[in-house]
Structure 1
């Protein structure tokens, strides 16, 4: 028994209260108590919390023990109530006990208090336990009855002889039998006469073996209606291991059987379809395979049915991942439509336009997947040719116009440079260096032409992980070297730009189309801006953009300061064959092709334009948030001047490596593992510390809270925050902290030193 008590003391005397508490503590109790001496105070105490026992003085100036007892009884609480009095007669004691008090004693004989309390608290707890058990049992029985009455399955129970002892109401609806006829062996009357003997033999065998039973069979109701059911039964045993009977369910599967029958009846009609039609269960096992599927995939129906679709139709990890994503979409939306790369029996790659529909059973539970696929392999091949033609349209005026003449110019330059080196091997070092410069420049020019021509030829590649930085830099170089000089090309790419999964050739085409359009929009010159950053699409943003989904994207912006687009045609710019260019200058397929490519990559495009001010095209491509890993060029790193830096991070390794790095570059370092330590060190060395480098996520006092406390100590303190959870582009949320810089973990030595050097200025 617990030796802790919550005691409600109804007493006007503090001295008597202390005597009562002292006696209880002598009895080994730890106490929480409240003393009240008015009805209002007692009522508040009863409503505020629960109590183990109430001890009341019989007579008080404004309140009596009997009145306190009546107040307690109005709350209907099973709370032991002991009356304590200085003097109490036998008649009063009898009246108190009749009124409902559990015990009474004199203040002059408090030695009885502890035994009385122990007895009454113990009995009260036992009463509550019995009440709780009885109530739980009653509630369990009620829940069971409610469950059985409302269950979507018929539920039955038998004795050890196989006689029905219980049926829920749904059984009577399914079988058509009354409650009386369903008990005993009467349930067998509902079985169809043609199947009755077989079902009973199967049941008798199961009952004798005391095992589980699963069987599908027909019922024939008294109204002459045939119903298909699936019956399941499991054995029940007593705690001693004796067989008691079976409990089971009966599911009406008539609609499923009828639906399956209709599917098979319609199979002949489906076989004349040119599309491949198949049905798979939720584990990807093929259930149905029409003649169109045989023609497309080269697998005969008897070969395909029963096989796993993933094993015979997909041979790449990317295709399997996409298929599993489709199944997730099906579970959510019930349907999916899109393109899939598959293989036929001989391993030939094919592309299909596929429509998937989730099929439900009669209880609205997912059962199978209907798949209708159209072969678009030739269409995709023609589309590839069309995309190559569009690439030539984007670069035709650039590459076609300069490649031939440029190569003609570079060929003799390169040849002469090499020939002179051969003919004059004894040239001095200065002249040799000049020839090397000449040869290197010629080779770089030739490489540029090869790059443009290679892209123009449209070499196709499979989708792979792409570092967008390379594509963007390549496009920017082409623009800088080939666009008119009065167009200023500016590039701004986030250093931590995420990678994307896609076709680099197609994405290169999209970017070239957008920059060429930007060039054409600035016939009198202007600024072409190419930028890229990481972007997170939230739910609200996704609701406002049809093609957007919640998640991470790499966002590319191509903007110009040109003529802009009129509002009345802005909604039509992505329509096929719509163009504002002069005849012969464009087909009007460039932007529609770009939109198609971006959508096929799971991305989307937005446009903002003002007439006379220019246009801004934003391309969003889904990303897995993997940061590009470019090898940085050797650069001269800034050195410190002996400044003292306070590094605060709960990761000891980060503190240590940061300290070593800063020490190696002429800084002095103090380290702290949490906010409290940082505040203590800063208060001690406030005059010497030049900057605080602090992590945002720490146990105890976190980074933002520590920063605010540091700024209270010294409003001019210089702070650089760092975090492994906050992307570099998200540091705007820390601007209200008035910090001097932000580092996104992991950071390089170059970024660390440059950030600290900049913050110290």
Structure 2
């Protein structure tokens, strides 16, 4: 294909020379054409003459022409085939066809196939030839210019179309992104229970989102509609805060309660901004309402946990001192009948009274410790169904006939790991409280169910962890409790009962026992609407073997040497007397330093060290560490009036093999010594 060097040629009148390629095998006719073109007044023509089509194609490949004069009868080509070959070779050059045949159909077909004009040789003169060439060149140039313009226009249309398409796609992406953002915002508002509002101050008209309609349970259109939904105790405070915000020119930021939904009180926080009109006067208040009921509940649980922790620390200290007082009393009560064999009946009765009173004191201290630190107890694999059946049987015997006791326990209730005695105490305590809350009768319902707590649900409770739980609910239809009472019911010694009808330790002990089992407790109550206590206990997947019960007879020693270490002189003396009565030898020390001295002198003879953990100068934990260095296989039993799981674990980690909780009885002491010595 020949490149077109005449695509942008100037108009014919302004050209000095017009180069033409003449394809004619007849020399005479070629000379005639040259003569006709020489005398042209419009342009000067320069002819390049060839006789064959092949020569014409060669010239086109090497030369540059403004047009072609073509004879259709050639030695190497005839007819329209010659025209088609030249059009294919030089599509941008105008071609004027020459022929001796006066055939109009052939002329029309030639023009259709690419010729610009058609001349009959016999009718041709100078004017017709020059005019034909001139018009052919100009028409070809115009066609080429139009084609170029069309191509440019098409290119520009394509570019603009591409730009519009890209802009449309970008706009569609932005619309989609905004829709997604809006959808996420709506979901976030629904999840967080947030709704938007707008208050027109002058007209008192209110508009708010669907979230607020659901939150308040009404469609507010006026300021007074919203004000009526507030809790009566908070209404005056909120209204005062609103008008203060408006008068001072700032937004409203406040928390309050609403009671628009029957039998339900919810906490709301409002954060808003004040908008002014052109004159600077307050016009609108816009912002959000957010439901913070769960946040308030968690805050209350957290504050209650902090208060209980402080009370627990105090109660634990008191319990420790009481245990040190009760331990020698219980020891003396058991030892006196052995030392004094001829006691009269009245003295024996007095000792029994003393024993019972001391034991009641010890039980009271255990309740305090259950609240303060939690107690480990004797754990086993429990099916709560049997335990709850026993609780129902006991409660039915103690409640009046006006109270209906119902039990709802599924067949396939999960098992728990726990102390049956302690959990029995928890459920009986709750049932007794429910009975006392229904003096005129009602329904007491005990229900157990399997319950799974996921990550989201665990956030509702301060001490909850995700997992499987067995939930035991004790519900009543009694007098209920106010919010102020609920905040204090787990405080030790707090009671709503009359003087002499309760110690105020029941629910404190319940809380401590539940915590020691790895569970938590939830309370729901309203005045005159009844109460519901829910106990959440972790479900157990494997059985835990209960400890072996001790024998009925008290074991005696074989003159083994026991080192008793306690800063309470009374405990040292009564423990020494008891052990010597049951055939042990005893050394005593009042603190850790004295104990280490005695142990260093008699370490090869001392069979067991019985040592208190909390002592002045050097406590039991520090002393046992040094004793282990003197004798790595020392046999040691820890004593303490505080029996928390943490204290037991720390004592065993530092070298104590057993833990003896104060106040202990003679049976407890002798059984543990026997068990420890026989296991060495």
State the TM-score bracket (shorter-chain normalisation).
Answer: under 0.3
Comparing both chains, which one has the higher relative contact order based on Cα–Cα distances under 8 Å and sequence gaps of 6 or more? 2
- With the length of structure 1 as denominator, give the TM-score of the two structures: 0.24
Question: What is the TM-score of this pair, normalised by structure 2?
Answer: 0.26
> Quick check: which one's strand share is greater?
1
